[in-house]
Structure 1
């Protein structure tokens, strides 16, 4: 078996143990045990641990090892995500405004068209993934690697750790979401950043209210 396959196998085994509850929040991941279980060295296991940390499943502490992170996106966590996305989206818009960055609306329109298709086809997972891709694409205008990694991690957490009732919130309010994305896009084209900011705040407040219902 190639080294890459060792890493993949270790990654899959550890992720499965986390998702099925064998390893719970706060548990130390037994690196040696995993290596022995698979009959491999600790090196590919360590690399797999780094992959899982990148995806938010683990926290690696110097001289202590890897520990299982919170594996469920609660309502409170989702609200925090929404509030963070509001801040990052508005900051991105203001950077586009202040730096005169060229905003290209065609890309967003294409993604919105894909979202509409998923909504009509009742493709809930595809819709959720496309929502996060749109967010990530827009935040990329900020040109900030920390913001990029923050949004990417939030997206992975949402798609892999959120319970079904939270994942379905954007889908069940898909028409509203698409409509507001369209309005925001049009306002950015005309460089009406103040009104675009209002749309973002309205959108976030709407989803916070829907989350509690």
Structure 2
């Protein structure tokens, strides 16, 4: 196995442990244990730790090691994220409509198919990560670097700094989420932008209500 593959394996293993709660906020990442578990040296593990720190999953302290970042996404912050995504999604739809941008529904269908697979398999972390990537891919149609960076940052914050009960909200309502995405995708394909925007607003309101239940 090549060095890059070792790093990727270490990266994916540690990231999964963080997302599924095996490594919790404030936990020190057991560098030696990870290396032994994967049958590799500590060097690719250390490189993977740097990658995870860059993405906001960890903080690395000199002479102390790497620690899982403190959770900072509260219910209030989650609702702010939902409202921001509503604004950005509708603005993206407006730009697709007014600028005549070519929308490719098949790409979104493929993303939703992957999400559905994660949902059926009970893979909550895979489902949520794919969901954020789906949002990012759609916002990219706007062609606005600020919007792209904002969504990327929100996704990283959500995955790394939200408590598990908030992270699981999309997964627990996954069937409904996929159904509404499918409807939205079909409406965009047929250029019925007003109805597509209505679905976005209803979807955000739905998740705000679910957050308080």
Q: Distance in 2 between matches of 1:57 and 1:98?
A: 42
State which structure, 1 or 2, has the greater radius of gyration over its C-alpha atoms: 1
1:101 aligns with 2:101: yes
Report 1:68-79 matches (<5 A).
71-79=71-79
1:20 aligns with 2:26: yes
Q: 2:127 maps to which residue?
A: 127
Which ranges of 4 or more aligned residues in structure 1 deviate by more than 3 Å? 51-58
Question: What is the CA RMSD across the aligned residues, in angstroms?
Answer: 3.0
1:57 to 1:208, Cα distance in 2 relative to 1, 3 A:
farther
Q: Distance in 2 between matches of 1:178 and 1:171?
A: 10
- After TM superposition, the score normalised by the length of structure 2 is 0.71
Q: Distance in 1 between matches of 2:85 and 2:57?
A: 18
Q: 2:149 maps to which residue?
A: 149
1:119 to 1:99, Cα distance in 2 relative to 1, 3 A:
same
Q: Distance in 1 between matches of 2:27 and 2:58?
A: 12
Q: Which runs of 5+ in 2 are unaligned?
A: 1-6, 8-13, 15-23, 29-49, 60-68
The alpha carbon displacement at 1:72 in A equals 1.7
Q: Which runs of 5+ in 1 are unaligned?
A: 6-11, 13-17, 23-47, 59-68
1:211 to 1:105, Cα distance in 2 relative to 1, 3 A:
same
The alpha carbon displacement at 1:70 in A equals 7.1
1:169–1:210 Cα contact (<8 Å) kept: yes
Q: Distance in 2 between matches of 1:168 and 1:194?
A: 30
Q: 2:113 maps to which residue?
A: 113
Report 1:1-213 matches (<5 A).
19-20=25-26, 52=53, 55=56, 71-213=71-213
1:56–1:153 Cα contact (<8 Å) kept: no
Question: What number of residue pairs does the alignment pair up?
Answer: 169
Classify the secondary structure of the residue corresponding to 2:182.
helix
- After TM superposition, the score normalised by the length of structure 1 is 0.71
Measured against aligned partners, the alpha-carbon deviations of 1:150-175 in whole angstroms (never above 9, x if no partner) come to 00000001111111100110010001
Measured against aligned partners, the alpha-carbon deviations of 1:121-170 in whole angstroms (never above 9, x if no partner) come to 00000000011000000000000001000000000011111111001100
